[in-house]
Amino acid sequence: MTAFILKRLAIAVPTILLLIVFSFLLMEAAPGSPFATERGVPPAVLANLEAKYGLDKPLIQRMGIYIYDVVVNFDFGPSFKFKDRTVNDLIAQGFPVTLTYGFWSFVVAVAVGGTLGVLAAVFHNSWLDYLAVGISIGAQVLPNFVMAPILVLIFTLWLGWLPGGGWRGGQIEYLILPVIALSTSYMASIARITRSSMLEVLNAGFIRTARAKGLPMRRVILRHALKPAMLPVISYLGPAFVGMITGSVLIDVFFSTGGIGQFFVNSALSRDYSVIMGITILIGTLTVLFNLLVDVIYAWIDPKIRY
């Protein structure tokens, strides 16, 4: 197992480094200087500014410094637009918010989607099954940017039950709509995957054996069917994570929750390169690490995987 984890790390670490180098070079290729204004900056001031931000050094040296800062000190440098704040400040401010509703969305998607999928398979061709299939087909065309306005329309503007935006330190009424908007389409996918893999497992020989020897249905499902049926779901968790973390950008913008997505889009619109880079690298690293975790869990559960 240790060897397997090490082997996976040997792939994960270069991926992260490549991402850092790639975003750095991309930023270098960007036309224009971050200090360019419409009135123009006097050459002496520009030289001073470039010296302060280290932009007067050669490319390779700057790249080395940037990577060193990011990898060793977790320091993404200063923001070019918010003069008094660093990228780390912005991340420290926004990341806990994103993490909070992201975590709950993930839990809701897996718990509700998984339960729905299992029930639909166990009660195959019942009304519950049709309901689950209906939901999962419908939710395919309801990505987060469609769900969010519809939810606000219904629960804020018509019913007036829940606030249509804001955060207030993550009180529950501010959490509900973002979590539903973010998790719906993944919940549906998880339900669909769970249902079809559970159906396949329930038709397998070892389930028939378990039932033939007189085990109660509940025990057959929980002890025998659940674990193998969860394998395809686990391999879907990686893409679901990427999708949700991408969706969080939209949630932040639409609900003004103040997470890192809001900083990301604002800096994309105002060309604040260091913030975009910092957030991209942070998200990329998280994704790679999460995929690593999923691989390890998969190998741990599935005895067929050799490592």
Query: By the criterion CB under 8 A, which residues form the site for other proteins?
Result: 11, 15, 18-19, 22-23, 26-27, 29-30, 137, 140-146, 148-150, 152-153, 157, 238, 242, 245-246, 249-250, 253-254, 264-265, 268-269, 271, 273, 276-277, 279-280, 283-284, 287-288, 291
**Cβ nearer to other proteins, comparing 90 with 245:** 245
**Cβ nearer to other proteins, comparing 29 with 172:** 29
**Cβ nearer to other proteins, comparing 117 with 284:** 284
User: What phi-psi label fits residue 126: left (phi over 0), alpha (psi between -120 and 50 degrees) or beta?
Assistant: beta
Q: Which long-range contacts (CB under 8 A, 24 or more apart) does 71-74 make?
A: 71/17, 71/20
Give the CA dihedral 179, 140, 111, 165, nearest 10 degrees: 10
User: What phi-psi label fits residue 57: left (phi over 0), alpha (psi between -120 and 50 degrees) or beta?
Assistant: beta
**Cβ nearer to other proteins, comparing 72 with 269:** 269
In the bound complex, what is the minimum distance in angstroms from residue 91's beta carbon to other proteins?
Answer: 14
In the bound complex, what is the minimum distance in angstroms from residue 214's beta carbon to other proteins?
Answer: 33
In the bound complex, what is the minimum distance in angstroms from residue 42's beta carbon to other proteins?
Answer: 27
In the bound complex, what is the minimum distance in angstroms from residue 283's beta carbon to other proteins?
Answer: 5
Q: 170 pairs with which residues across the strands?
A: none
**Cβ nearer to other proteins, comparing 113 with 164:** 164
In the bound complex, what is the minimum distance in angstroms from residue 286's beta carbon to other proteins?
Answer: 8
One-letter amino acid of 220 = V
Q: 78 pairs with which residues across the strands?
A: 86
In the bound complex, what is the minimum distance in angstroms from residue 213's beta carbon to other proteins?
Answer: 31
Distance in angstroms (rounded) separating the CA atoms of residues 272 and 266? 8
Nearest to 227 by CA among 136, 300, 125: 300
Distance in angstroms (rounded) separating the CA atoms of residues 278 and 293? 23
**Cβ nearer to other proteins, comparing 217 with 305:** 305
